[in-house]
């Protein structure tokens, strides 16, 4: 049942955080049969977003995690044969990450499961409400980025 009390701006950050945690929990549960934990599936999705050949450093920055945590997750994904770390010829200190064929298949399965979770989570929300939500979240992101860039 929906809470019919008026929305308080002071609670908005808490509600965004709570909705985000619940969203991830639903996706985690949905993709668990694929053998993908939250750190693993978020890394795969982020790598696809950044593009194959992204470096370990780029991935760590995009995920907001330290390199040791990233290295552990990369090792687990390598053990699952979903990614490869390669050394480019122009800089032996760098490790680029690429998908294996099994990694691309895992992404397809992940997308299908995540789509099921998304449909469940967005059930009952009209297209117009979704558009308003997208615009509002985009504006919050822009405002935060603008503010942070001046610090």
**What CATH architecture is 22-124?**
Orthogonal Bundle (1.10)
pLDDT at 112: 95
Q: How many CA atoms lie within 13 A of 123 on its CB side?
A: 7
User: Residue for token digits 């990450």?
Assistant: 97
Distance CA(88)–CA(84), nearest Å, equals 12
Task: Give the predicted TM-score (pTM) of the model.
Answer: 0.79
How is the chain split into domains, by residue range? 22-124
Instruction: Quick: pLDDT tens for 28-76.
Output: 999 999 999 999 999 999 999 999 999 999 999 999 999 999 999 999 9
Instruction: Quick: pLDDT tens for 85-129.
Output: 998 778 888 899 999 999 999 999 999 999 999 999 999 999 999
Contact 98, 56 (CB under 8 A): no
């Amino acid at each position: 049942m929906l809470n019919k009390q008026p929305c308080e701006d002071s609670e908005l950050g808490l509600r965004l955080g709570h909705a985000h945690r619940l969203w991830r929990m639903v996706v985690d549960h949905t993709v668990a049969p694929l053998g993908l934990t939250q750190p693993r599936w978020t890394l795969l999705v982020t790598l696809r977003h950044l593009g194959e050949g992204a470096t370990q450093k780029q991935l760590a920055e995009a995920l907001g995690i330290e390199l040791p945590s990233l290295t552990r997750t990369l090792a687990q994904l390598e053990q699952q044969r979903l990614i490869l770390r390669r050394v480019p010829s122009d800089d032996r200190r760098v490790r680029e990450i690429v998908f294996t064929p099994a990694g691309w298949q895992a992404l397809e399965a992940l997308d299908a499961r995540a789509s099921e979770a998304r449909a469940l989570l967005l059930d009952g929300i009209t297209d117009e409400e979704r558009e308003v939500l997208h615009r509002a979240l985009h504006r919050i992101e822009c405002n935060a980025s603008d503010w942070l860039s001046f610090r």
